[in-house]
Amino acid sequence: MSKLLLGSHPFLLGFEQLEQLVERTAKTGNDGYPPYNIEQTSENSYRITLAVAGFAEADLSITVEDRQLVIRGRQTDDAEGRLFLHRGIAARQFQKSFVLADGVDVGGADIKNGLLHVDLTRAVPDKIIQTIKINGETA
């Protein structure tokens, strides 16, 4: 018995890229740093919140690359000339990726109290009903 893949199901026409999307999502990594929340703020909007304490606005970058939201953080290590008795706050870089569905766009981002908020909006498609003419045989 052969395994039927989701993207190759006969009723899912034009969804061949779905399997590639699932693979790409799985490869984004399950690193828990920095911690983040994803919330639905309305029927057609979402908010991703990352805990980025210690990062300045200049240390962060947000890009959309091939329908993938990529958030990067890179701190400069200013520990030169300082003597730490305990160092629990590390200058650590990160990259978080989120795959965006078609029609989901980044509305904006802001940072407040060590939290980076990225707002997403989903466009509501118009309902289109299309009538297809059937061409019959003429004798």
Contact criterion met (CB below 8 Å) for 132 and 86: no
The model's pTM: 0.71
Give the Cα separation of 74 and 60 in Å (integer): 7
- Give the model's pLDDT for residue 78: 73
Residues 116-135: pLDDT tens digits? 999 999 988 788 899 999 98
Which tens digits make up the pLDDT trace of 101-110?
889 999 999 9
Cα separations (Å) of 131 from 126, 128, 134? 16, 10, 9
Cis peptide, bond prior to residue 10, ω within 30 of zero:
no
Whether the CB-CB separation of 11 and 23 falls below 8 Å is answered with no
According to CATH, the topology of domain 33-79+88-124 is Immunoglobulin-like (2.60.40)
Asked if the model's pLDDT at residue 8 lies above 90, the reply is no
DSSP reduced 3-state for 22: helix
Q: State pLDDT tens for residues 20-68.
A: 666 766 665 557 889 999 999 999 999 999 999 889 999 999 999 988 9
Among 82, 78, 74, 34, residue whose Cα is nearest residue 57: 74
Mean confidence (pLDDT) of the chain: 84
> Residue ranges of the domains in the chain?
33-79+88-124
Measuring CA to CA, which residue among 84, 75, 71 is closest to residue 54? 75
Identify the residue with better confidence: 114 or 6.
114
45-51 vs 60-64, strand pairing mode: unpaired
Q: Is the dihedral of CA 106, 112, 113, 114 positive or negative?
A: positive
